[in-house]
Amino acid sequence: MKNNEIMKGLKAPFNPKDIEWKTQSATKRDNKISVLVVPYLDARAIMDRLDEVCGPFWKTEYHQMTVETAKGPKQGFSCILSIKIGAEWVSRVDGAEVSDIESIKGGHSNALKRAAVQWGIGRYLYDLPNFWVPLQQQGSCNVYGKFKINGQQEQVTGKFDAPRLQKKFLPEGFTYPGNNNSRPEQPQNQGNPASNGNSNGNQQPQNGQERQSTQQNQQPQNKRGNKPSDQAVQMAKKSPLEHTISLFKELSITSDLVPGLINKIVGERKAVGKATEDELRAIVKALMPVKKYLDYCKAQGLSEDQMLDYAQITTKESLKNPLNLILKMDSVILTETTKLIHEDRLSPAQTA
């Protein structure tokens, strides 16, 4: 088999029945819970794909390692996944920390999953949109766990139906039962936790004009149209140093935190007055999405807990205070989060 055929076979979409779904976050509106679910592949599905494409000409090698985490050192494993291409073995490697359950077996499985992504196996799953689905009493997938909802930890138990994927994320020739082959599948409740939609495929497809509009909406829209706001005009008049210092003040970044923050952004610990103009522009670029997000949340009347709850959904990070958003929120995350807030806070009449 030729190299390009091997890579094409490894990267091919999986049958939806081979995709597992886990709950990442939850939200509540009108006493109805919706959950954010993300896809993943079981290690057995990955091994089946390797067998299908490579036959016996693949192998794995695991090494124990120490992984530095926010809570301190933790044991993990690296996986070297090798495939024989022609007469040569080609290897790619990645690793993962041990799992809380079946630490060795789970660590091996997680490391294999990550190494498989290096070969393109299941990599397309990262391109899927967010799926918010309603919690139900019946469904093909289970939910059981504690999630932070409106600032409080709640036990969430129930079921949901696996989201249906768009045609481009499906194997060639695959159709869902009862679907018209000519009608492409659409994401279920994409990015909309406030929607009361269901999993029966009744959601209307998004037309090309609407999709183009969504892609172009990379920043919250100014009510004055294309005319810059007074604040934007004032920002444009400032020098990079003035702009940076202004952002430090507005974000309540104290002087003792500045050198460490600059080190994280530009790779060198220094005072703001010692930074070059290019470094200052990099600092402004890192801070502006956070500033815009905090301003947006303030205008929406959100509490700090609510602001952090929404941001945790899109950044997929644990956030204890607004400064934790720095280097986690960029312009893309800003757009996703403000869109999530906007849709979540729409009235039922507006979403109908």
DSSP 201-230: S-SPPPPHHHHHHHHH--SPPPTTTTSPPH
Same domain? For 180 and 310 the reply is no
Helical ranges in 145-276 per DSSP H: 208-216, 230-237, 240-250, 258-266
63, part of any domain: yes
Last residue of a domain, one of 204, 220, 250: 204
Q: How far apart are CA 166 and CA 127, in angstroms?
A: 11
What's the pLDDT score for residue 76?
85
Same domain? For 77 and 197 the reply is yes
Q: How far apart are CA 79 and CA 338, in angstroms?
A: 38
What's the pLDDT score for residue 199?
36
Which of 134, 112, 265, 136 minimizes the C-alpha distance to 194?
134
Three-class DSSP category at 348: helix
Pairing state between β 152-160 and 141-149: antiparallel
Q: How far apart are CA 201 and CA 2, in angstroms?
A: 39
Q: How far apart are CA 288 and CA 167, in angstroms?
A: 37
Same domain? For 119 and 239 the reply is no
Same domain? For 162 and 44 the reply is yes
The domain in which residue 194 lies consists of: 3-204
Which of 48, 46, 52, 41 minimizes the C-alpha distance to 19?
41
Q: Which two tokens stand for residue 257?
A: 């935190």
Same domain? For 298 and 235 the reply is yes
* CB atoms near residue 166 (< 10 Å): 15
209, part of any domain: no
CA atoms lying within 13 Å on the CB side of residue 173: 0
Last residue of a domain, one of 166, 189, 204: 204
213, part of any domain: no
Same domain? For 161 and 299 the reply is no
188, part of any domain: yes
Same domain? For 68 and 188 the reply is yes
Is residue 161 a contact partner of residue 136, using CB atoms and an 8 Å limit? yes
Below-70 pLDDT ranges, the chain: 1, 67, 69-70, 99-103, 179-238, 346-352
Same domain? For 20 and 155 the reply is yes
Q: How far apart are CA 104 and CA 64, in angstroms?
A: 9
Same domain? For 289 and 337 the reply is yes
221, part of any domain: no
Q: How far apart are CA 148 and CA 6, in angstroms?
A: 43
Report the number of distinct structural domains present in the chain.
Answer: 2
Is residue 281 a contact partner of residue 240, using CB atoms and an 8 Å limit? yes
301, part of any domain: yes
CA atoms lying within 13 Å on the CB side of residue 101: 0
CA distances from 181 to 45, 176, 335 (A): 26, 9, 33
Q: Which two tokens stand for residue 213?
A: 């509009």
Same domain? For 189 and 303 the reply is no
Last residue of a domain, one of 161, 187, 204: 204
Which of 42, 23, 48 minimizes the C-alpha distance to 33?
23
Cα 337–chain centre separation:
11
138, part of any domain: yes
- The DSSP call for residue 93 is E
214, part of any domain: no
3-state helix, strand, coil in the chain (%, to 5): 40, 25, 35
Same domain? For 286 and 187 the reply is no
What's the pLDDT score for residue 217?
42
Same domain? For 193 and 239 the reply is no
